[in-house]
A and B are shown apart, each in its own frame.
Chain A
Amino acid sequence: MRVQLFATCLGDLVFPEAVADAEALLRGAGCDVRFPPGQTCCGQPAFNAGHRRAARRLARAFVRAFSHDEPVVCPSGSCAAMVAHRVPELAGCAPFEVWELSSFLDHLGAAPPARNEGVRIAYHSSCHLLRELGVDAAPRRLLARTGAELVDLRRPDLCCGFGGTFAVRQPEISVAMADDKLADGAQADVLATADPGCLMHLQARAARTGGVRVQHLASVLARGAV
């Protein structure tokens, strides 16, 4: 099956290993992965900050870069939600078949390598993946297939506090929310998330405070938690 990989801007620029892991997982599941070279960003930062004209420019660029004929897969819940729910209206185009990586792998029945035997992993449901795309069980199922011991968070429904520009408009609240999430995940060896935004924010806070290790779900699935 041919799929188009959407790296997302954060994936391309800050977390290229996680995107490479996503690509490896897709190949492992039998996909023929294409990387449309014209891709940049889905426009979510502008859209969520109220800048519709700016978001529309990025949405149109997305439509120029991607084909409607093959599924788009991306290692980000919030970017997948943006492409699914906002890009078509902004750009005035037909909807894309877009999948967040873990839900697509689960849909294909993929069995990632068993590299997490005995590792305690907590999964942080990013808000947009959970509430806008309704994906919650797929990432956990995949983690379980890699042998991970899943650790339940006490408040899996709570936002980690990233929220795009929210992280810098409300820094004190944003950081306090990260602290709650990191404390909730502290009993695990690794806190895994399927969203580069949450990942950047939680890693940045954990680096400052010495909190639990936070990794992208794709890396945990492809190479095992480290």
Chain B
Amino acid sequence: MSFRVLDERRLAATDAATLRLLAGRTGAWAAAGDAEALRERAHEIRMGVVDDIESHLDRFVAAVEAAGGRVHRCASAADARAAVARICVDAGARLAAKSKSMLSEEIGLNAALEAVGVDVVETDLGEYILQLAGEHPVHIITPAIEKTVEDVASLLSAVDGVPLEPRAEALAQAARRQLRQVFERADVGITGANFAVCESGSICLVTNEGNGGLVTSLPRVHVALLGMERLVPTLDDLAVLLQLLARSGTGQTLTTYTRLITGPRRAGEVDGPEELHVVVVDNGRSRIGSGPYREMLACIRCGACLNVCPVYRKAGGGAYGPVYSGPMGAVLVPLLQGLERERALPHASSLCGACTAACPVKIPLHELLLELRRDLVEHGVASRGERIAFGLWSLLWSRPFLYRVSTSLARRGRPLGALAGPGRAWAAGRELPELAGRRFRDRR
């Protein structure tokens, strides 16, 4: 299954946005001092957690409970959906206000809540736009990256029933007005968690829009969805990762808001939720963490690999599926969903290595893609025809005599054209290369 190039509008929007993010990133890195040492340190911190998730999780759970929060450990997406639904039902909730969470997309949360009678409204501007459009995020950081200002104007205008001018500021004001009543009426606020700190039991939320603050302080109940691997041991470790996250993602030194939430409202405090529930989701992570791909769990979801990836920038996030995209998605989605189901994704890369070079926590993304390709072959997912072709080819070309015979014969035909499928795919946009009349070895 091949990716298609985005239509012109989406391509132009994606190009402009990723270039802006990349330019910001370059500037922010230049000002970061010893960026390489920071990356090394970040890698160490993350792998320290990944190599021993359970004991870190135990410390985190104890700290959350000590602060008055509740923890729900969920093995699967279905368990997590059920846990959040139960919390909402127990709270008698009718409306949930959500801050951006890719994990909620991964587990398919919104539909599950609507099924138990809870309306869900996305309050991150990008996610709100996509909810109005009935679409999935196409970028893990800037989910509506393919939407132009005109697209946004028409979506927000439909809510108000009056046409809005396609100007960013006017549109932001309109969305702000539309969402204000959601914050005021919501019974439950649902967020993700950029990080969770073991020593303090804090949830760290990194946002630029301020909706995260309203979602976590106005509703009576706050539910934070946490991927079980997104832990850091200490607040000092958190400081290291925060220096990298915004720089890599949006090119900011820090995001506008960095929020640390420790427990629900305490006696004597004037705001904050009455209940804090942390829903810790496994959904395949402990399996990944005990296998050869565990470095993927170091990912901090910054989106840098998407922005530098030429394949992502041409095909757009939707090509990778409804949730994760770009190089991190090409690795993670097959690990979560199984190679059988996602056999095309490991090949959705030219192996240029730009992702690996950009990753702030030094995940060798293109190496992991190579390993997944190996698994495709060795677990029998790759087609029999492909395995036979490479097997025969290697038997011939590993013997110089047979290499000479086979390439002499090939020069009498048009060998690439003869390989029907690949030849056609090549020739759809390119001329077929000609074999030279005389090989180099025959000229000496």
Q: What CA separation (Å) do A13 and B407 show in the bound complex? A: 8
Task: Knowing A14-B435, A166-B347, say if A53 contacts B394 (CB, 8 Å).
Answer: yes
Q: Do A7 and B400 touch (CB < 8 A)?
A: no
Q: Do A201 and B350 touch (CB < 8 A)?
A: no
Query: How close is B415's CB to chain A, nearest CB, in angstroms?
Result: 9
Q: Which residues of B contact A39 (CB under 8 A)?
A: 400
Q: Do B347 and A169 touch (CB < 8 A)?
A: yes
B429 at the interface (CB under 8 A from A): yes
Category for how many chain B residues contact A: 35 or more
B370 at the interface (CB under 8 A from A): yes
Task: Knowing A16-B436, A48-B373, say if A173 contacts B5 (CB, 8 Å).
Answer: yes
B397 at the interface (CB under 8 A from A): yes
A70 at the interface (CB under 8 A from B): no
Q: Do B443 and A20 touch (CB < 8 A)?
A: yes
Query: How close is A37's CB to chain B, nearest CB, in angstroms?
Result: 7
B348 at the interface (CB under 8 A from A): yes
| B390 in complex: contacting residue of A9, A14, A49, CB < 8 Å | A49
Q: Do A13 and B435 touch (CB < 8 A)?
A: yes
Query: How close is A150's CB to chain B, nearest CB, in angstroms?
Result: 22
Q: Which residues of A contact B347 (CB under 8 A)?
A: 165-166, 169-170
Could you give, for residues 313-341 of chain B, a 1 whenever the CB lies within 8 Å of some chain A CB and a 0 otherwise? 01100000000000000000000000000
Q: Which residues of B contact A203 (CB under 8 A)?
A: 431, 433
Q: Do B397 and A51 touch (CB < 8 A)?
A: no
Q: What CA separation (Å) do A8 and B165 show in the bound complex? A: 59
Task: Knowing A16-B438, A50-B374, A169-B2, say if A57 contacts B394 (CB, 8 Å).
Answer: yes
Q: Which residues of B contact A165 (CB under 8 A)?
A: 347, 422
Closest to B344 in A: A169
Closest to A81 in B: B353
Could you give, for residues 357-388 of chain B, a 1 whenever the CB lies within 8 Å of some chain A CB and a 0 otherwise? 10000000000001011111110001000110
A19 at the interface (CB under 8 A from B): yes
Q: Which residues of A contact B395 (CB under 8 A)?
A: 57
Task: Knowing A46-B394, A61-B399, say if A204 contacts B350 (CB, 8 Å).
Answer: no
Interface of B is mostly: helix
Q: Do B357 and A162 touch (CB < 8 A)?
A: no
B-facing residues in A143-170 (Cβ within 8 Å): 157-159, 161-170
B354 at the interface (CB under 8 A from A): yes
Q: Do A9 and B397 touch (CB < 8 A)?
A: yes
Could you give, for residues 47-59 of chain A, a 1 whenever the CB lies within 8 Å of some chain B CB and a 0 otherwise? 1111111110110
Given contact pairs A13-B407, A41-B403, A172-B2, a sample of 18 additional A-B residue pairs in the complex whose CB atoms are under 8 Å apart:
A13-B410, A13-B411, A14-B435, A49-B373, A50-B370, A50-B374, A51-B390, A58-B397, A127-B350, A128-B353, A163-B351, A169-B347, A171-B426, A174-B429, A176-B314, A201-B430, A204-B431, A208-B429
Seen from chain B, the residues whose Cβ lies within 8 Å of a Cβ on chain A are 2-5, 308, 310-311, 314-315, 346-354, 356-357, 370, 372-378, 382, 386-387, 390-391, 393-395, 397-400, 403, 407, 410-411, 421-422, 425-426, 428-436, 438-441, 443-444
8 tightest A-B CB contacts, nearest first: A163-B350, A50-B373, A54-B394, A159-B352, A175-B429, A204-B430, A16-B440, A127-B352
